[in-house]
Amino acid sequence: MGNSLNNLLPVIRRAKGIKQVDLAKSLSISPSYLCRIERGLLEAPDEIKAQCSEILGVTVNELFPDEKINTDRNFSNSTSNNLWQIRMKKKLKQNQLAILMDCSPSYISKIEKGLQAPNDKFRKKCAKILKVKESEIFPKN
């Protein structure tokens, strides 16, 4: 078992059209603290779990399942890629890459999380900008 915690909080929050900053404000916590919870770097306190459940209208167990989440099972369109890892190695922020790619940071986020498959034009341009082979970022499954 890895050292990161798994939850569906960011997926459900986005599906409900709620921005991270707005949810953080509703919870009276900082957006960076919420980000660490969403990324599985911190375990959410029970009080925060309960508040998220109430705000998002789902059960605590739906947001924070007891078992490790297999995103392939939950998202039939999920894709696997190394964009986040390569971007981190290049010390490039998501919004910086978005500017270079002429797209939104949220689009890059969806691709990095495997929630959206990038088109061929995006793949080629991304590889060129990051100066790596396209297959390094987007391996064939």
pLDDT value of position 51: 95
**Where in the chain are all domains bearing CATH 1.10.260.40?**
9-69, 83-137
Q: Cβ contacts of residue 23 below 8 Å, gap of 6+?
A: 13, 34, 52, 55
Q: Round to whole Å and give the CA distance between 102 and 141.
A: 27
Answer CATH for 83-137 from 1.10.260.40, 3.10.310.30, 3.30.70.20, 3.50.50.60: 1.10.260.40
For 9-69, CATH gives: 1.10.260.40
Residues 6 or more apart in contact with residue 101 via CB below 8 angstroms: 108, 122, 125, 126, 129
What are the structure tokens assigned to 140, written together?
A: 């064939």
Check: CB of residue 112 under 8 Å from CB of residue 81: yes
The first and second tokens of residue 55, run together, are: 């705000």
Task: Per-residue pLDDT tens, the chain, 141 aa: give them.
Answer: 333 456 789 988 988 899 999 999 999 999 999 999 988 888 899 999 999 999 999 888 888 876 544 443 343 344 578 898 899 899 999 999 999 999 888 888 888 888 888 899 999 999 999 999 999 998 875
């947001």: which residue's tokens? Answer: 63
